[in-house]
């Protein structure tokens, strides 16, 4: 991994390979639990030059770029090392720390904040991709009507995430030519994850049947007000290069799900409870 030359923290200190090593190795301790899974596969990091590092993984990982490099934010060692050291011997972890003026290295510098109201960022003119905006104010507006009102009277330049009814936003934009609605598919997704290490979720036929009895389109219409896109793989359709559109799909079909379960050996008792196949048992332990 090579650092971009000339990078500096917002306090003027150079961004170094030592900062990178610290940022990725600190979560391996007990004080940054949120990011520990992201670095669990790192066996070692060596500094080859002041701006070049070699990561050695415990095992091969095709997702290293996204699940590790893309998850860990670089932090300045000279700021965070003393902060983490102050937590030694205490129950608190890094999530309990509050920086009065966070120091980063990105295109915007922290200028100030008001709890529960707004965060103010100022442009970093020294950044290699210096923004054209001089100031960026991220304001928290919990009321949808107030957010739309602020948009119409010019107090707000854009809404990053509209949570109201789409019809209302469409009407507002049709009445005001200054307001444009842009809808796009993001790279994230909402999903239900099962513990595949234990029955019945360890049975692929059961999982297929479960997929068939979940009306995902109804969830899209009700929970996402029609603006969601049904996922057809773990990779978003927005990532066209990596997205595979022809994977097998399991459409909503309760009858087909029942047939699949019958073929897999499942049965129903007189009360309608689904029973495991005769050849399959499951032992539950009482929580103590």
DSSP 119-185: EEEEE-TTSTT--S-SEEEEE----HHHHHHHHHTTS-S--SS--S-HHHHHHHHHH-TT-------
For every one of its 288 residues, what pLDDT tens digit does the chain have, with 9 covering 90 and above?
999 999 999 999 999 999 999 999 999 988 888 899 999 999 999 999 989 999 999 999 988 998 999 999 999 999 999 988 888 888 887 777 776 789 999 999 999 999 889 999 999 999 999 999 999 999 988 888 899 999 999 899 998 878 788 888 888 899 999 999 888 888 888 889 999 998 899 999 999 999 999 999 999 998 888 888 999 888 889 988 989 989 999 999 999 999 999 999 999 999 989 988 877 776 666 655
* Predicted pLDDT at 276: 87
DSSP class per residue in 223-256: HSTT-----SSSS-TT-TTT--TTS----S-HHH
CATH entry 3.40.718.10 includes domain 108-175: no
What lies within 8 Å, CB to CB, of 138 at 6+ separation is 118, 119, 120, 121
- Superfamily of domain 184-288, CATH level 4: Dipeptide-binding Protein; Domain 3 (3.10.105.10)
- Under CATH, to which class is 17-96 assigned? alpha beta
* Predicted pLDDT at 3: 94
What 8-state DSSP symbol labels residue 114? E
Matching fold, domains 17-96 and 184-288: no
* Predicted pLDDT at 283: 65
Q: pTM of the entire structure?
A: 0.69
What ranges do the domains of the chain cover?
17-96, 108-175, 184-288
- Is 236 within 8 Å of 187 (Cβ atoms)? yes
């Amino acid at each position: 991994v090579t650092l971009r030359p000339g990078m500096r923290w917002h306090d003027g200190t150079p961004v170094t390979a030592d900062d990178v090593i610290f940022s990725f190795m600190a979560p391996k301790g007990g004080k940054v639990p949120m990011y520990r899974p992201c670095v669990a596969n790192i066996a070692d990091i060596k500094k080859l030059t002041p701006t070049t590092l070699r990561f050695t993984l415990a095992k091969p990982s095709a997702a290293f770029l996204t699940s590790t490099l893309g998850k860990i934010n670089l932090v300045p060692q000279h700021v965070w090392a003393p902060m983490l050291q102050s937590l030694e011997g205490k129950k608190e972890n890094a999530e309990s720390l509050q920086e009065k003026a966070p120091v980063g290295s990105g295109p915007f510098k922290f200028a100030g904040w008001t709890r529960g109201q707004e965060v103010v960022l100022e442009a970093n003119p020294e950044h290699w991709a210096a923004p054209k905006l001089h100031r960026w104010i991220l304001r928290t507006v919990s009321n949808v009507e107030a957010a739309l009102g602020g948009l119409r009277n010019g107090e707000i330049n854009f809404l990053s995430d509209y949570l109201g009814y789409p019809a209302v936003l469409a009407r507002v934009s049709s009445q005001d030519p200054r307001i444009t609605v842009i809808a796009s598919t993001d790279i994230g997704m909402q999903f239900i994850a099962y513990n595949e290490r234990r029955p019945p979720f360890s049975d692929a036929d059961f999982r297929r049947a479960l997929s068939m009895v979940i009306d995902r389109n109804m969830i899209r219409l009700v929970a996402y007000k029609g603006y969601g896109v049904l996922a057809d793989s773990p990779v978003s359709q927005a990532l066209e290069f990596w997205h595979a559109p022809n994977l097998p799909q399991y459409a909503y079909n309760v009858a087909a799900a029942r047939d699949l379960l019958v073929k897999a050996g499942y049965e129903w008792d007189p009360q309608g409870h689904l029973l495991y196949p005769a050849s399959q048992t499951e032992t539950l332990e009482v929580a103590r």
